[in-house]
Amino acid sequence: MATSYLNSNADGPRTLVDKVYVQLRAAIMDGDIEPGAKISEPELAKNFGVSRSSLREAIAKLESSNLVERQANVGARVVTLSNESLLEIYQVRESLEGLAARLAAENMTDAEIEHLHSLLNLQSKCGKSISRAEYKSVDFDFHYCIVLGSHNERLIRMLSRDLFELVHFYRKKFSGSGPRPDQALIEHTEIVAAIARRDGEMAEVMMRHHIRAAREHAKKSFTSEHHTIPGSLDK
């Protein structure tokens, strides 16, 4: 199983539906299809040179990732951005990633913990010279490594195929600028230390604290920037 979250979602498409899904997902993530925009099946089927049935299957996969929602009498639309939705995502992340950290402390192999240390070292060495995109990639890999380390397949699916996709979507839409990366490194270090000690209780406490802090930072960033994002909603 891939240990990089973003790479795990960039594997080569296996079927025509997979190919269309990858292209649609990229269009949504990159903003070519804006939040809240209606997905025109005839137009997209023509643009991609595929049948409507293949396109619908790809859209269904996007629905399962919560990037697209289908509304009665409206059809499929890209999800809208809202402060309320963002906070709900982080509330669920706090609970599930806290559990993942506890299980990781119990179940991670020594090799997996060593890889976690290498990600932490990479984040530390990069410091302020790292670009925002690179930081987000390393950060996702860190959290994904812990989730995989839980060795709980159901939990892995819930986080990597659902919540992480939405978090990635939000992060692509606003900068989240500020001093958070420096503080996040401190919090990551505390989490890794607890996991390495096989202290599941402390690992869960530290992860929950980390996600709460990230939630407050994301809330402030979103509140200050969402008025410039197409498809964002006031709450």
Contact assessment for residue 90 and residue 181, using Cβ atoms and an 8 Å cutoff: no
Q: What is the pLDDT along the chain (235 residues), one digit of tens a residue?
A: 455 655 555 455 588 888 999 999 988 888 888 888 999 888 888 888 899 999 999 999 999 888 999 887 778 999 988 888 888 999 999 999 999 999 999 999 999 999 999 999 888 877 656 666 777 788 889 999 999 999 999 999 999 877 888 888 887 776 554 446 788 899 999 999 999 999 999 999 999 999 999 888 887 777 665 544 444 444 3
Q: 89: Cβ–Cβ under 8 A, 6 or more apart, which residues?
A: 163, 166, 167, 170
Question: Residue 183 has what pLDDT?
Answer: 87
Question: Residue 229 has what pLDDT?
Answer: 43
Question: Residue 178 has what pLDDT?
Answer: 45
Q: What angle do CA 218, 183, 162 make, to 5 degrees?
A: 40
Tell me which architecture the domain covering 82-233 has in CATH.
Up-down Bundle (1.20)
Would you state the torsion angle of the CA atoms of residues 194, 200, 203, 204, taken in this order, to the nearest 10 degrees?
A: -170
Looking at the domain covering 5-79, what would its CATH class be? mainly alpha
Question: Residue 227 has what pLDDT?
Answer: 45
Question: Residue 128 has what pLDDT?
Answer: 59
| Full-model pTM | 0.81
Characterize 67-77 residue by residue with b for buried, 16 or more Cβ atoms within 10 angstroms of its Cβ, and e for exposed.
Answer: bbeeeeeeebb
Domain ranges of the chain: 5-79, 82-233
